[in-house]
Structure 1
Amino acid sequence: MTALASTSVETIRKEIFLLAARALGDPHARTPSGRYVALVTWLAGSDEAWLTRLIGWMGRHAGLRDLRLAALAELAQARLEAGATGTRHLLDRSLHRADEPGELLAYWLQWYGRAIPQPVKRGIADAAVRLYDELAMATYDSPGAPLRFADVLALTHPVPQGTRQAALFRHAIARRRGDLNLIPASLPLLRARRALYWIPANRRPALFERPEGGRMLAEAAMTWPAARRWLLGTMTGPAWAAVVPSMTYQDRLAHLADFDRDEMPDEIARQVAGEIAAPAAVLRSGVTPLEVFAAWRSAPDSRWTRALKAALELSLANVPALPGRTLVLIDQGDLMTGPADNGLTRADAAAIFGVALACRAAHAQVVILGTTDATLPVRPGESPLDLIDGFASIGGSTSPARAIRDRAAGHDRVVVLTHPDQAAQAAEAVTIPGQEHVITDVTSGWFTAIPHVEMARTADWPF
């Protein structure tokens, strides 16, 4: 903490916000580091109001949950040390999902021990009462959780609201002991799920051929991952048809090839295709061209083609419209032939991300780095698919660093989409402080991360 003492509050704000902003795009940056915790701890004592607003903003981004809970715990500890009141209410209102009371409590136990202060205990207990219901138990109370629901109840002693929640709490304790059979009549969802598991495994696929099959899954709130586990990993077309209503837009995109392989009925497939191409659904989901393009590549020349073309155009609205002049360097060299995490090659992911960003930018210059460096004209209203068709074959030994030195002049930002082996040299070549973005593992989160990283430079907070 001594190293932070002479640092200004605004500098600390910028650094901690930058860490959170980069984590929007980089899943590997979502585990709280020692530096992050030190910054949070210092800021908790010097600018609690700003840190509280940051925690609220992080709550709008699911990928930042671990960072948010760590910040919340450190803020609570700082408040306790300062003798402040209101910590109980702060913790309660800051926990949003039913797995978060257990995750926050697990963090506290790891770093502060089992002597849990009363405001922390009561705040987590209040959140448990608010969040714990049948669906939450079916979804989050699993053996792999940091703490089971019963562990949270034993450590915080919440008072249930009503007889139904009291029965739920008693059943949580029974589940923790391994007793899954005695489910009270007041918990119909959990009883319905237990009834499904009583069906012998070899007879479960046949349930989807019966008229009441879909109803039984709905009564048990069976999501597609739960249904797949129940079927021991083997889905069928009728099974997919039964769980489609519970799938998110992104879930459906990611499983189009599975729908085809498992022979989803045409009538249901037409409904799914219509929803994929619906403008309101695209905007509401926040889906990006990267996700749509991955679905396109997974199910080429299929019954989904027309819907995916429409969705790809519509999803551009979910890409930030960057102001000023943007240089986008898209590496298509030999190193980019390997796979990316989203099922595309690194080259494909870089290509669709780069052209989508350029299509929305106020003014963008796109340069493809391959056997030669070639500028790709971007005209207003042009489709990302049409732009990608103009890419040359992948290959060549590229130098993003050289391309930056040759072309960055006159631009307000540089976005470099390249291989990890090229990243260090590329970063050293950039001379636009705060608005350089060297991205090696392309994810949809980087569309959100780029403008937020730039906010850290200007202290233009989104909260």
Structure 2
Amino acid sequence: MLVAPHVSAAARHLAATRPVPGSTARNLHTYEGGPAYIREPREELFLLAVANFVSQETFYESGAYRDDRYTALVARLAVEHPAWTAGLLRWLRGEGNMRTASLVGAAAYVRARLAAGTSDGPSNRSVVDSVLQRADEPGELLAHWIATYGRKVPQPVKRGVADAVRRLYTSRSLLKYDTESRDFRFGDVLNLVHASPDPAKPWQGALFRYALDRRHHPERAETPEGDRTLTARRTLLATPVDERRALVTGPGGAERLTGAGMTWESVAGWLHGPMDAAVWEALIPGMGPMALLRNLRNFDEAGIADAVAERVAARIADPGEVARARQFPFRYLAAHRHAAPRWAAALEAALGHSLSHVPALPGRTLVLVDRSDSMFFDTVSARSTLSRADAAAVFGAALALRAEQADLVEFGWRSAPVPYAPGEPVLDVLKRFHRLGGTDTLKALRTHYLDHDRVLLVTDEQALPYGPRISDPVPGKVPVHTWNLAGYRPAHSPAGPNRHTFGGLTDAAFRMAGLIENGRRAHWPWTGEE
């Protein structure tokens, strides 16, 4: 790997993955029986963490096996490399946008360090606090701890949760997340961790008492005096059912709902009636970008006005809104496949904005996209219908379209070029990909590598054992960047100079390719550590 004397903090934080350095060959095979290599534990955990949705079944590994492997790796590294592991968990919840994995990981971090009796590195309390970024998450972490490790919750977990509670508990978050469907209500959390109010938030003491009462003594729960949001919500809830629709659709309806902390979900239950066009049109100005994306079909079924639909489309396609939504690119692809034609252009633009950091690589680039059966079997998350093959095609096409000159190739049992035109929408290129059976990576490389300046493979690395092991068909001086979507343990090639592996479901991995080739040393995204 080329080395430069300095990498700026900005460059490090742009890099959402790190190249895998120097894994060693073992007597190991891929899940299809091909020759494989094992990764160093930090590399294995990083790739698993960014590719894994907790309890998700995959083609080669059960959800339980992946969860156990993830927890075991976190537990080991929490003791061996505590600063690195704490940084991973913090980054995973923040820039990585992987919520459940970071909570599960924080619990495993604390349990392993308590069992080992170590206090080196970041404190257990601070790690718990760092992964709790939404007001329902303190309860989720406690529910996970009790279900997994038992009802005795150690003090570092309680104190970390209490720190997060002081940051996150507000009137609006209580109205949104303190619902009967939750395993742990706000009052349960406060009872368990005994969080004291933040001295800088004089209103928080009354809010905590209200949360406790509404959970344990609802008959005496009184809205805190002076809390405008809770008072506005109480007024709305007291409104007779036959008058509620007029409050929503009449003058000032949108402001009234926003002031009472009413989300579209809460309005749907409160109305006791259909969500017609007038109701949606009142709600839309206060809806966030992801809520808009989720309700496109509902807008169409209700028949919202064309002028309102145009404003919705403009927000969906707005680069700032896309950045604020922090959604994986495949979310926009899924919406595009299920939405009516009038939303197509906006969703296509949003997908393009979500891929805005895919670099424009200079020279000639060979982009190989894995279209094998295992890539189609596995979805990008348990709640998605999109396969990893879809995600691979999205990023492969985006790379090719941005590159100065690129050959885009799909491979499996066989391989073939995927035609595209410069400036063509990514979604049009996706229509030309196919399902191609097994995974013959070496054959694809031997067939399509023709003195390119670099190779980029988008794959799950589970190659079949086709013929004898042969030398690398790509010269050692040519960079080969593997983007691993699945996070499986076996790697399809050894790492080393000019051989790098990345992971994850966002465009951030590709930022590293340019940094490496420009002669900068690659770092983990949350630290300068090699």
TM-score bracket, shorter-length normalisation: 0.7 to 0.9
Q: Deviations over 1:316-368 (max 9, x none)?
A: 415466788443347599x9799996567998777555423432356543345
Cα distance in 2 between the residues matched to 1:231 and 1:186: 26
Q: 1:206 to 1:427 in 2, by over 3 A?
A: farther
Contact 1:21 1:452 in 2 (8 A): no
The secondary structure found in structure 1 opposite 2:71 is: helix
Letter in 2 for 1:355: A
More helix by share: 1
Contact 2:379 2:387 in 1 (8 A): yes
Q: 1:369 to 1:124 in 2, by over 3 A?
A: closer
Q: Which residue among 23, 39, 52 is the counterpart of 1:23?
A: 52
Q: Post-superposition shift, 1:282?
A: 3.6
Q: Deviations over 1:232-253 (max 9, x none)?
A: 5842222222222333323323
Could you say which residue in structure 2 is the equivalent of 1:412? 455
Could you say which residue in structure 1 is the equivalent of 2:92? 58
Q: 1:144 to 1:327 in 2, by over 3 A?
A: same
Determine what percentage of the aligned residue pairs are the same residue: 36
Q: Which 5+ residue runs of structure 1 have no aligned equivalent?
A: 1-6, 418-422
Q: Deviations over 1:244-284 (max 9, x none)?
A: 23333233234333222212233322322332333433444
Cα distance in 2 between the residues matched to 1:115 and 1:159: 21
Could you say which residue in structure 2 is the equivalent of 1:164? 203
Q: Which 5+ residue runs of structure 2 have no aligned equivalent?
A: 1-25, 27-38, 475-479, 488-502, 516-520
Letter in 1 for 2:439: A
Is 2:475 aligned against 1:435? no
Could you say which residue in structure 2 is the equivalent of 1:227? 267
Cα distance in 1 between the residues matched to 2:222 and 2:335: 43
Q: 1:221 to 1:371 in 2, by over 3 A?
A: same
Contact 1:56 1:94 in 2 (8 A): yes
Contact 1:22 1:449 in 2 (8 A): no
Is 2:74 aligned against 1:34? no
Q: Post-superposition shift, 1:134?
A: 0.9
Letter in 2 for 1:166: G
Q: Deviations over 1:137-167 (max 9, x none)?
A: 1122223333221112111212224653222
Q: 1:103 to 1:257 in 2, by over 3 A?
A: closer
TM-score of the aligned structures, taking structure 2 as reference length? 0.67
Cα distance in 2 between the residues matched to 1:253 and 1:25: 24
Could you say which residue in structure 1 is the equivalent of 2:14? none
Q: Post-superposition shift, 1:133?
A: 1.4
Could you say which residue in structure 1 is the equivalent of 2:15? none
Q: Deviations over 1:391-421 (max 9, x none)?
A: 39x7xx843435x45322337343259xxxx
Cα distance in 1 between the residues matched to 2:67 and 2:273: 36
Q: 1:44 to 1:321 in 2, by over 3 A?
A: farther
Contact 1:70 1:104 in 2 (8 A): yes
Could you say which residue in structure 2 is the equivalent of 1:241? 281
Contact 2:392 2:459 in 1 (8 A): no
Could you say which residue in structure 2 is the equivalent of 1:124? 161
Could you say which residue in structure 1 is the equivalent of 2:407? 365
Cα distance in 2 between the residues matched to 1:191 and 1:156: 27
Q: Which residue among 405, 418, 439 is the counterpart of 1:376?
A: 418
The secondary structure found in structure 1 opposite 2:98 is: helix
Could you say which residue in structure 2 is the equivalent of 1:45? 79
Q: Select the structure with the greater relative contact order (CA < 8 A; seq sep ≥ 6).
A: 2
Letter in 2 for 1:103: E
The secondary structure found in structure 2 opposite 1:317 is: coil
Letter in 1 for 2:43: K
Cα distance in 1 between the residues matched to 2:486 and 2:68: 23
Could you say which residue in structure 2 is the equivalent of 1:420? none
Cα distance in 2 between the residues matched to 1:165 and 1:424: 53
Q: 1:426 to 1:381 in 2, by over 3 A?
A: farther
Cα distance in 1 between the residues matched to 2:336 and 2:181: 34
Q: 1:447 to 1:427 in 2, by over 3 A?
A: farther
Cα distance in 2 between the residues matched to 1:426 and 1:321: 32
Could you say which residue in structure 2 is the equivalent of 1:447? 506
Could you say which residue in structure 2 is the equivalent of 1:179? 218
Contact 1:294 1:344 in 2 (8 A): yes
Q: 1:445 to 1:428 in 2, by over 3 A?
A: farther
Cα distance in 2 between the residues matched to 1:349 and 1:78: 35
Contact 1:24 1:448 in 2 (8 A): no
Is 2:421 aligned against 1:387? no
Cα distance in 2 between the residues matched to 1:91 and 1:385: 40
Cα distance in 2 between the residues matched to 1:13 and 1:371: 32
Q: 1:315 to 1:64 in 2, by over 3 A?
A: closer
Q: Post-superposition shift, 1:57?
A: 1.1
Greater displacement, 340-349 / 207-216: 340-349
Q: Post-superposition shift, 1:104?
A: 2.6
Contact 1:355 1:366 in 2 (8 A): yes
TM-score of the aligned structures, taking structure 1 as reference length? 0.76
Cα distance in 1 between the residues matched to 2:261 and 2:86: 35
What is the number of residues matched between the two proteins? 438
Is 2:115 aligned against 1:76? no
Could you say which residue in structure 1 is the equivalent of 2:177? 140
Cα distance in 1 between the residues matched to 2:109 and 2:379: 40
Q: 1:358 to 1:104 in 2, by over 3 A?
A: same
Letter in 1 for 2:83: A
Q: Post-superposition shift, 1:207?
A: 3.0
